[in-house]
Amino acid sequence: MKENHCLNDIKPGQRAHVKELTACGSIRRRLLDIGLVEDTEVECLGQSPLGDPCAYLIRGAVIAIRSEDCRGILIHK
């Protein structure tokens, strides 16, 4: 059985592809607006000194996403 991974499971320097968005409401709309759709490649660039948020490279743009919001983004490692 395959284990589900969330976006916040990848570490700086790692890449993954979006499998599914499980987020709801306005955060789902924001994630879709920045291009997080199925099969989009995402690279973790780093995290803030306190660990939240993390910076991700998404479609050529660097986007900071909170860990809470990353839980709504399922990925293929």
CATH class name, domain 5-76: mainly beta
pLDDT tens string 31-62: 999 999 999 999 999 998 887 899 999 999 99
Cα 18 to Cα 37: distance, rounded to the nearest angstrom: 7
Element (H, E) at 24: none
Which runs of consecutive H residues, i.e. helices, occur in the chain?
25-33, 67-70
**What is the model's pLDDT at position 1?**
42
Count Cβ neighbours within 10 Å for each residue of 43-64 and write b for 16 or more, e otherwise: ebeebeeeeebbbbebeeeebe
Rama region for 68: left / alpha / beta (φ>0; ψ in -120 to 50; rest): alpha
Residue 73 has pLDDT above 60, yes or no: yes
Q: Mean pLDDT lowest for which of 6-10, 18-22, 46-50?
A: 46-50
Residue boundaries of the structural domains of the chain? 5-76
